[in-house]
Amino acid sequence: MLVTYNSADLDCYDIKKSRLSEGTSNGSSAKRPRKGSQGPEEDADLDSAGSVNHSYRKAAASSSLLDRPSNVVRPETPPLDIEGVTQTLKEKNIMPSMLKFGFLGLGIMGSGIVKNLLNSGHSVIVWNRTPEKCKDFVKAGAEECLTPSDVVAAADIIFSCVADPKAAKEMVFGNCGVLLEITPNKGYVEMTGVDADTSHDIAEAIQAKGGRFLEAQIQGSKNQAEEGSLVILAAGDRSLFDECQTCFQAMGRNSFYFGDVGNASKMNLVLQLMAGVTMAGLAEGMALADRAGLQQKDVLEVLELTSLACPMMIEKSKAIIDGGFQTNLPLQHLQKDMKLSLMMGDSLEQPLPLTATANEVFKHAKRLGYGDHDASAVYIRARF
Higher pLDDT, 338 or 23: 338
Residue 7: pLDDT band with limits 50, 70, 90? very low
pLDDT reported for residue 74: 82
pLDDT reported for residue 384: 87
What are the structural domains, with CATH classification, of the chain?
87-260 (3.40.50.720), 267-383 (1.10.1040.10)
Closest CA to 187 of 113, 244, 121, 272: 244
Q: For residue range 231-263, what is the model confidence (pLDDT) as tens digits? A: 999 999 999 999 999 999 999 999 999 999 999
11 pLDDT above the threshold of 50: no
6 pLDDT above the threshold of 90: no
pTM of the model: 0.82
- How large is the average pLDDT for residues 311-330? 96
CA distances to 38, 171, 191 from 316, in Å = 49, 33, 24
Residue 17: pLDDT band with limits 50, 70, 90? very low
81 pLDDT above the threshold of 60: yes
Q: For residue range 174-185, what is the model confidence (pLDDT) as tens digits? A: 999 999 999 999
Return the percentage of the chain with pLDDT > 90, whole number: 79
205 pLDDT above the threshold of 80: yes
Distance, in Å, from the CA atom of 336 to the CA atom of 260, rounded to the nearest integer, reads: 23
pLDDT reported for residue 70: 64
pLDDT reported for residue 71: 74
- How large is the average pLDDT for residues 53-74? 51
